[in-house]
Structure formats: structure tokens, C-alpha cells
């Protein structure tokens, strides 16, 4: 852990400059708007340790796969979201000395991420070797209203300097990904254009030819008056900078306003990229920084109205949940079905910025509850658009007749993950995509996606499962061999309970959806059958037989489901048996020892119980939780939230809160000593669910909303707002009562601790606790 941030309800605050924390802070203080994102790198020169990072959603590079032993079926590349051209740069010289925080004396350093209004502010005092002192205040935001715009206000106040200040705003496309397999640079220059106060650098990616124009427009003021001095221009390969010199004396303030537009060929014709960038810059500079910020802050106000969680009595917890919600809202906005959510979002290079099953399993429920349904629908459409690629992925592994295996890691639907035990074996990801269709349909009541797209996806996934199982004469059951479940500390196992569950459930849900289609959409269903050459009688018959005869390992003596065949042959230790110097085991123990151990990376059996908890009685859930949680090391960021929700359901209130803190402040307090690589964006959705489904006890049972809330002992009150179909519902929980308000929408029926209430629009009900 590394606790260096101040607690505040709406802000993340770092006081004092410690170079050892710089990379971590660059991750934590990142900004984005769903289309572009920027690590909290400094505008001015910084020669200390730093991970430069500006990322553009959907722009990537297929970096050639680097493995020691090639296996048939491996993807040829690993997709990487590229470190894109640097738009934030403003180099500063005081006389002949460069402003570089690794070389000057730094005092009064403060960095603040204002989550309420979505901006980053940094201030400090710098003393140079000649004893000249300046104060700097830098403010920037990435517009949530203008998706191609970033804005910077950079103020320099002379404290004791009577000197020339050289200001050089620039755009630099000569950048590299730190995780490049072969130290390769991925950008080629197309054009560099400029005029005083304005510049454009157009580049394209190697191989895929994504074109990006990164442009800037700036103006400089001294004591509030714009400076029209001469501009000295410097051009080199993939770089352009423009320098203006300003004479200052003590108390003079120089202010730089820099506007950057990032346009690319996914949204514009290549021939018009520069024109599109110019148009963004022109209208933005006309509005000015203050007006642009006002529009941006108002947009954030609307986001918080629907997604905020309020906690009273625990500032650390309040800060943490808002940080998680803030990052989710600035990573994905849901207005473009071509985009998705990478595990690190716009905060780092790890995992390539690609899409994983995390989206469907964790993120979709967050957006269902906090956004218009079209946001979640676009996440589903993203997968539908990749269906043909998923079928091709399955074909590469030998599957036939339209079977689909969605990729573990992808940008365009092709598999680009190159660890065999993941690529070939962690096939439960198909189940997450099927469950997302079900989750969306039951929560929104909108069956149009199932009708137009979802059923085709379900049939393709069910075809995969039907070919992936085989019948065991010994067990007289269908089995699934050679898989990896969610617990990646077990590879190549037979009959992973969770994977078998998701396969069986998917085929059953597909059969039920076909029955619905026959009744509700017979003409569309008839066309779909012809399109995909669907032999309904034969294929549905086979799926029914598999569902009825699927093997699920269990230990009847203990009354628990078994994670996989042979699990009970292991030495059944608990995490408490590990020595402190052996934690985390993924960094301290050999892989051989991990694979043979009983230790669990993340929820596996419990992941399945969480998804279908209404199918199991409390005693069954309790036995499995008590057996598996003590063996779980929670070394996946996706683990604590599932355990929090189940612990809350079981009445393990202290355990639930303990696990909640781990997931909520995972990045802020750097539990795993890895935040320098980027944030755990997708697991942040689990943090939200820990409160809403865990402490709030929210469930949808038979199309009826249920809340079974409790309040952690350290809190005085908490509240959250959720969208449910056409209603906006606010739930407020204190030690004495639960108040549920129907803020928007028609009369609503719901249950609080099993008691049914009917709430009219703009009305509320109260449930008094014992």
C-alpha cells in the first residue's frame, strides 16, 4: 500500500512533490471523455521517471506476437491502444533555464483532481539555480461536450524573476509505447502545417493506417492583455513548436491558453482531418476557456445526478466511491457502438487497452443503473458487430457450423491474446456475453435487441458449447475438458463448475429465447433460421439433452460445489496459512507451486453463485462462501466485489465492509503496488455494485425490484440513485430507516426487506429498521 493522498469528498489531492509517486499519480489523476484520454503528465518538460500517455479510443496497433513456442490457433498479434501524439506540451524557460521539476527546487506542490466538475489542477513554486522564483498554476480538462477537444490554462507568476520567459506550446507525434514488443515506433508522419498561434501534425499508424491529426491553437496574455509578439517556430520530424518570449518582472502573470483538437479517420475522411481539427479549434477559441469549462462542468453535473453515491460519516469511503464512478463515466460514454472499455481505460498501456469479458460481467450492470439504456445497448451492439469474427475465431480452433467463440482480448473482434491457457481455455467468456443479453433484456424490459441481434449471438454461442462438451460414458454425463475458469491460478482443468454452469445456462436461455421468437417475431425468426442455416429440431434437441445431462462436480459430504475435478486432492489450506513474505503469491511463489495449490485468484464458484443467487438457498451459498473465500487471495481486482455482495447477503457485515474497502480504494491506496501501470477501471464497476447490490441489497426477482439494505457501522447514512426502466429511484439508508423515492416515472411497485410498497411519481416511502 501507498497512502499519500488527502481524503476529501469530491477531490483527489496530492500535497508535496515526491518523484517516487509520479507514475502512480499520472494514473490516478488521469482525464478522459470516452473518446480520448490523458495521463496526468506535466505540460512542462520533466526529465524524471514518467509514463507518457495520451490515448484515442479505437486507434490501435497490431503488435506482432512474441512467444517462445508457437501453437496452432495463436493470434498473430497483440492489439495495443497507442500512445498518441502529445497535445499537452508547453515548455517553459526562465532566462536560459528550463522549467523541469526534476531539476528545480519545488515547494508548495499541490495536485487536485476535481471529480465534481472533471478537471485537473496543479500548482507549485519553482526556484531556479539563479534564485529566481516563479509560481505556476495549471488547469486542464478534456471536454465531455466536445469529444475531440482538450483545454489547458497555464499561469506563471513571477515572484522574484526579472527575466525573459520563453513559452513553447507544441505538438509531438514522435512518441513510443513503453510496452512495444520490439521497441518499435508506431506513427509515420503525413504532414506538419502551421501559422502563428496554430499548428497541425498529421500522422498515420503503421500497418492499419489509422490517420490522426493533432492540432493546437493558443494565445498568451500578460497581466490580462493578449501578447501579439513574434513567434519563433521549430519543426522536426513529427513535431512542431512555437515560441513566444515575454519580459516579466515580480508580480507579473503570464497566462497561456492552449486548445487542442484530435481528429481521426474513424470519424472523418482522411482528406478533411485538418479541416475538421481547424473547425474544432476555431469554435473553441471563440468561446474561450471559461465558457468551454462551464459547458463541460454542467455536463458533469448531469452525470452525477444519475450516478452519484453519497456516504456520510466516512470521508475515505465517500472519496473512493466517487473516484470509481468518475473514472467509469470518463472512460465510456456509450455514444459510439464501435467503442468499449479496456481494463485500464485511458490510464495506462497494460492490457493493451483492449476489451475483455470484464465489460459484460461488471461494467454493463453499472451503466444499466446509471445511464440511458442506449448506453448499455451499444455495449451489446459492439459484440454483435464482432459476431462474424467470433465465428472465425472458433473456426481457427476447429469448430464448425457457425459456432462462435468470442475473444478473450480484442479490438476488432479478432482474438489477440497469446497465452495458451487463456486464449484456448478461458472460454467462460462466451457465457458472460450471453448473460449480458439476458441482463439487459430483463432489466430494461427492452426485447428489441434480443429480437434483432441477440438471438443470433445466443445461437452461435450455444453452437460452440454444444461442440465443446463431450459425453462421458463413465459419468453418463456431458463433461467439458481442458479449460481455465475465472480463477486463473488453475489451468487446463476438467469440468470447471462455473464454465459448465454458463454453458448449460446459455443453451437453456437460448432455447427459451427461440420459443419466444416463434411466438412474438415469427417472420424475423424464419429469416434468421435461413440466414444461419439453423436446424432447429436437431440443434435444440441436442442442446436440451446437454442441459439435462450436464455434469457439475460437487462434494456431497461438505455440501459444496467443486471448482473442478480433483480440487479435493489439493492440500486444503487457507490464506491465513501463507506467510506474509509469500504475498502476493503471483509475485512471490513459483507458477508450479501456485498451480498445485488450493489458492484462488478471484471468485470462480462464487462468481456463478453471484450471477444466479436467487437459484440457491442461503445455506447453500453460506457453505460455498465459507469454504472458498478463506482460500481466496483476491489478487484480481475483480474479486473483492463479488465476495462483498455475497457476504452482505449472508449477513457477514464486517467481512463485507472489509472487502469493500479493498475494492473501493484499490488504486487510491495502491493495494497491489501496481497503480503506476494504470487504474483498474473495469473492477471499479464492481465497487459500485458492492454498495448497490451488496449494502443496498438490490435484486431483480421475477421482474420485481427488491432492496434488503444495511448500513456499515462506520457510516451515518448513504444513498444511491438507480435508473430502472422509465423510473429514477433514490434509496437512502440510515441506522433508523430506509427511504425510497420515485423521483421520475409512473407508479412503481417494489419490496423493502420483503414488504411490498407502491410509490407514486415524486413520492417516497419509509421503512423503519428494528
Residues with active-site annotation? 488
Which phi-psi region, left, alpha or beta, contains residue 662 (left: φ > 0; alpha: ψ -120 to 50)? Answer: alpha
Which residues lie across from 355 on neighbouring strands?
410
Length of the chain: 770
Specify the long-range contacts of residues 192-198, CB closer than 8 Å, at least 24 apart: 192/235, 192/238, 192/239, 192/240, 193/274, 194/233, 194/235, 194/240, 194/242, 196/231, 196/242, 197/231, 197/242, 198/278, 198/281
Name the packing angle between helices 387-396 and 373-385 (round to 10°).
Answer: 40
User: Which of 639, 678, 57 has its CA nearest to residue 355?
Assistant: 57
- Of 568, 594, 709, 571, the closest CA to residue 648 belongs to 709
Please, are residues 171 and 216 in contact by the beta-carbon 8 Å criterion? yes
First to last CA, the chain: 38
Residue 67: Cβ within 10 Å count: 11
Omega before 584 within 30 of 0, i.e. cis: yes
Q: How far apart are CA 323 and CA 308, in angstroms?
A: 10
For the chain, state the CA radius of gyration. 27
Coil/strand/helix, residue 764: strand
Between the alpha carbon of residue 225 and those of residues 217, 285, 566, 573, 674, the distances in Å are: 17, 16, 76, 71, 45
Q: What is the rounded distance in angstroms from the CA atom of residue 760 to the CA atom of residue 42?
A: 51
Compute how many other C-beta atoms are within 10 angstroms of the C-beta atom of residue 747. 11
Q: Are 197 and 231 in contact (CB under 8 A)?
A: yes
Q: Rounded distance, CA 657 to CA 717, Å? A: 14
Q: How far apart are CA 483 and CA 499, in angstroms?
A: 8
DSSP lists the bridge partners of residue 318 as none
Report yes or no: 231 and 242 within 8 Å, Cβ to Cβ: yes
Give the Cα separation of 6 and 8 in Å (integer): 6
Q: Are 741 and 759 in contact (CB under 8 A)?
A: yes
Q: Is residue 496 within 8 Å of residue 483, measured between CB atoms? A: yes
At 754, list the grid cell. 420483503
Distances (CA, A) of 744 to 723, 724, 725, 728: 9, 10, 10, 5
Distance CA 487, CA 605 (A): 9
CB 401 within 8 A of CB 395: no
For residue 347, is it left (φ>0), alpha (ψ between -120 and 50) or beta? Answer: alpha
Amino acid at each position: 500500500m501507498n497512502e499519500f493522498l488527502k481524503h476529501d469528498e469530491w477531490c483527489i489531492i496530492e500535497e508535496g512533490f515526491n518523484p517516487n509517486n509520479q507514475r502512480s499519480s499520472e494514473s490516478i489523476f488521469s482525464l478522459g471523455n470516452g473518446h480520448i484520454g490523458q495521463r496526468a503528465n506535466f505540460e512542462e518538460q520533466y526529465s524524471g521517471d514518467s509514463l507518457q500517455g495520451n490515448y484515442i479510443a479505437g486507434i490501435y496497433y497490431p503488435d506482432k506476437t512474441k512467444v517462445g513456442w508457437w501453437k496452432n490457433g495463436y493470434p498473430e498479434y497483440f492489439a495495443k491502444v497507442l500512445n498518441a501524439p502529445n497535445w499537452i506540451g508547453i515548455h517553459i524557460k526562465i532566462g536560459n533555464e528550463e522549467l523541469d521539476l526534476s531539476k528545480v527546487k519545488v515547494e508548495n506542490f499541490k495536485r487536485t483532481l476535481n471529480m465534481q466538475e472533471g478537471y485537473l489542477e496543479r500548482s507549485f513554486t519553482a526556484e531556479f539555480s539563479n534564485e529566481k522564483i516563479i509560481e505556476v498554476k495549471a488547469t486542464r480538462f478534456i471536454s465531455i461536450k466536445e469529444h475531440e477537444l482538450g483545454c489547458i490554462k497555464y499561469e506563471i507568476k513571477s515572484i522574484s524573476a526579472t527575466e525573459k520567459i520563453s513559452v513553447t506550446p507544441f505538438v509531438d507525434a514522435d512518441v513510443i509505447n513503453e510496452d512495444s514488443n520490439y521497441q518499435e515506433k508506431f506513427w509515420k508522419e503525413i504532414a506538419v502545417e502551421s501559422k502563428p498561434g496554430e499548428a497541425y501534425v498529421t500522422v498515420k499508424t503503421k500497418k492499419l493506417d489509422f490517420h490522426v491529426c493533432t492540432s493546437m491553437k493558443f494565445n498568451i496574455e500578460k497581466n490580462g492583455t493578449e501578447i501579439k509578439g513574434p513567434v519563433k517556430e521549430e519543426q522536426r520530424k513529427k513535431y512542431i513548436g512555437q515560441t513566444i518570449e515575454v519580459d516579466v518582472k515580480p508580480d507579473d502573470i503570464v497566462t497561456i491558453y492552449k486548445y487542442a483538437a484530435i481528429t481521426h479517420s474513424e470519424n472523418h475522411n482522411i482528406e478533411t482531418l485538418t479541416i475538421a481539427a481547424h473547425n474544432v479549434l476555431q469554435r473553441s477559441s471563440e468561446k474561450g476557456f471559461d465558457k468551454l469549462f462551464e459547458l463541460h462542468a454542467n455536463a458533469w453535473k448531469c452525470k452525477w445526478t444519475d450516478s452519484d453515491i453519497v456516504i456520510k460519516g466516512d470521508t475515505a469511503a465517500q472519496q473512493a466511491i466517487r473516484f470509481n464512478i468518475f473514472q467509469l463515466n470518463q472512460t465510456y460514454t456509450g455514444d459510439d457502438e464501435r467503442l468499449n472499455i479496456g481494463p485500464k481505460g485511458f490510464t495506462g498501456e497494460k492490457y493493451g487497452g483492449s476489451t475483455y469479458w470484464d465489460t459484460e460481467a461488471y461494467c454493463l450492470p453499472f451503466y444499466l443503473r446509471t445511464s440511458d439504456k442506449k448506453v448499455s445497448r451499444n455495449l451489446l451492439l459492439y459484440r454483435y458487430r464482432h459476431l462474424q469474427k467470433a465465428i472465425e475465431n472458433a473456426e481457427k480452433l476447429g469448430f464448425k457450423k457457425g459456432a462462435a467463440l468470442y475473444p478473450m482480448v480484442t479490438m476488432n473482434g479478432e482474438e489477440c491474446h497469446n497465452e495458451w491457457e487463456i486464449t484456448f481455455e478461458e472460454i467462460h467468456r462466451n457465457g458472460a456475453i450471453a448473460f449480458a443479453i439476458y441482463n439487459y433484456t430483463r432489466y430494461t424490459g427492452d426485447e428489441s435487441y434480443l429480437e434483432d441481434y441477440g438471438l443470433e449471438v445466443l445461437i452461435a454461442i450455444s453452437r460452440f458449447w454444444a461442440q465443446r462438451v463431450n459425453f462421458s460414458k463413465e459419468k453418463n454425463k456431458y463433461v467439458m475438458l481442458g479449460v481455465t475458469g475465472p480463477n486463473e491460478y488453475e489451468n487446463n482443468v476438467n469440468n470447471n463448475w462455473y464454465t459448465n454452469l454458463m454453458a448449460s445456462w446459455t443453451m437453456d436461455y437460448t432455447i427459451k429465447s427461440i420459443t419466444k421468437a416463434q411466438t412474438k417475431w415469427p417472420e424475423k425468426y424464419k429469416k434468421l433460421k435461413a440466414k444461419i442455416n439453423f436446424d432447429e429440431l436437431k440443434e435444440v434437441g441436442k442442446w436440451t439433452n446437454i442441459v439435462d445431462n450436464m455434469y457439475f462436480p460437487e462434494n456431497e459430504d461438505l455440501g459444496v460445489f467443486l471448482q473442478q475435478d480433483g480440487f479435493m486432492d489439493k492440500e486444503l489450506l487457507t490464506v491465513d496459512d501463507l506467510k506474509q513474505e509469500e504475498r502476493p503469491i503471483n509475485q512471490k511463489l513459483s507458477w508450479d507451486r501456485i498451480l498445485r495449490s488450493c489458492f484462488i485468484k478471484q471468485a470462480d464458484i462464487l462468481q456463478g453463485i453471484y450471477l444466479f443467487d436467487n437459484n440457491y438457498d442461503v445455506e447453500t451459498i453460506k457453505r460455498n462462501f465459507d469454504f472458498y473465500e478463506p482460500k481466496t487471495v483476491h489478487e484480481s481486482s475483480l474479486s473483492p466485489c463479488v465476495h462483498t455482495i455475497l457476504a452482505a447477503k449472508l449477513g457477514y457485515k464486517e467481512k463485507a465492509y472489509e472487502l469493500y474497502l479493498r475494492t473501493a480504494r484499490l488504486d487510491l491506496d495502491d493495494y497491489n503496488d501496481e497503480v503506476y501501470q494504470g487504474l483498474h477501471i473495469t473492477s471499479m464497476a464492481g465497487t459500485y455494485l458492492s454498495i448497490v447490490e451488496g449494502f443496498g441489497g438490490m435484486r431483480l426477482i421475477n421482474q420485481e425490484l427488491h432492496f434488503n439494505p444495511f448500513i456499515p457501522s462506520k457510516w451515518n447514512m448513504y444513498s444511491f440513485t438507480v435508473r430502472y426502466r422509465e423510473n429514477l429511484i433514490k434509496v437512502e439508508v440510515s441506522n433508523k430507516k430506509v427511504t425510497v423515492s420515485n423521483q421520475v416515472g409512473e407508479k412503481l411497485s417494489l419490496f423493502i426487506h420483503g414488504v411490498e410498497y407502491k410509490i407514486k411519481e415524486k413520492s417516497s416511502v419509509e421503512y423503519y429498521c428494528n
